[in-house]
Amino acid sequence: MIEHHSVQYGEHTIDFMVVRRERTTLEIAVEPDATVVVAAPQDAPLAVIEQRVRKRAAWVRRQQRFFAQYLPRTPERKYVAGETHLYLGRQYRLKVVPHVQAMVKLVRGFIVVQSHKPSRIDVTRELVEQWYRQRAQLKFVERLEINLLRFSEPQKYRPQGLIIRQLQQRWGSMSSAGRLLLNRRLIGAPIDAIDYVITHELCHIAEPHHGPQFFELLDRVLPDWQKRKKRLERIMA
């Protein structure tokens, strides 16, 4: 059961979740979407937890500011001819052509949208988004299988399911039930950056929070993850 609480720190309110487990120590983690999670012993009093959060409040705020600068920002797209769109790290220009068969395909640097209503921006948008969703489903499943092989025991890190959604505040997450959630926008990133996000989230199956053991595991299975992360942030900002 997850508890939701908050403490005041100056003019800021710090909201946090408490997850109680069979453990003897209390751990505070700030997730990439800036949420604060406290892993606490089953019998830890709320007053003690709140006191610890207040004590670490300055660190929590620094971590939240750090992650805030890397949250994905979705640029406003107009879905008109000539506009550029990302796919696997490359920029493609949008080309809309009249056609009896509605479909989208890549042709020599263009995302070509065949549409029976080429002047309707809403139709073009839906065709492009549908194509992106299809490509994301195929590519993410493919990369998941490849990235599982980074682990010495791949089946221990296999998620219970893969969900693809349009997200505003994170590239991916791993639920407590072991379901991998990936941002549809990630299909615009280079393959090595997609692999970073997937591998990062697979590590959360063994290590739910961003503590030292999590980064030890990530360093072991993906030694150049920081380089990949920076490329993701640069290209997708």
Residue 9 scores a pLDDT above 70: yes
Q: Tell me what pLDDT residue 78 has.
A: 85
Using the predicted structure, report yes or no on whether residue 72 has a pLDDT greater than 90: no
Specify the pLDDT at position 168. Answer: 72
- Residue 161, classified by CB atoms within 10 Å of its CB into exposed (0-12), middle (13-18) or buried (19+), is exposed
Mean pLDDT for the chain? 90
| Band (1; pLDDT cuts 50, 70, 90) | low
Query: What are the structural domains of the chain?
Result: 2-68 (no CATH), 84-130 (no CATH), 140-236 (3.30.2010.10)
CA 213/CA 225 separation, integer angstroms: 15
209 burial (CB, 10 Å; 0-12 / 13-18 / 19+) is middle
Is pLDDT of 4 > 80? Answer: yes
At 137 the pLDDT is 96
pTM: 0.70
- pLDDT for 71 equals 60
For residue 5, is pLDDT > 80? yes
pLDDT of residue 73: 56
pLDDT tens figures, 162-201: 999 988 778 999 988 899 999 999 999 999 999 999 999 9
In this prediction, residue 160 carries a pLDDT of 94
pLDDT (mean) for 69-75: 59
Nearest 5°: the CA angle 84, 135, 114 is 60
Query: In angstroms, rounded to a whole number, what is the distance separating the alpha carbons of residues 24 and 13?
Result: 27
For 99-152, write each residue's pLDDT tens digit.
999 999 999 999 999 999 999 999 999 999 999 999 999 999 999 999 999 999
Structure confidence by residue, pLDDT tens digits, 26-35: 999 988 777 8
> Is beta strand 27-30 parallel, antiparallel or unpaired with respect to 12-21?
unpaired
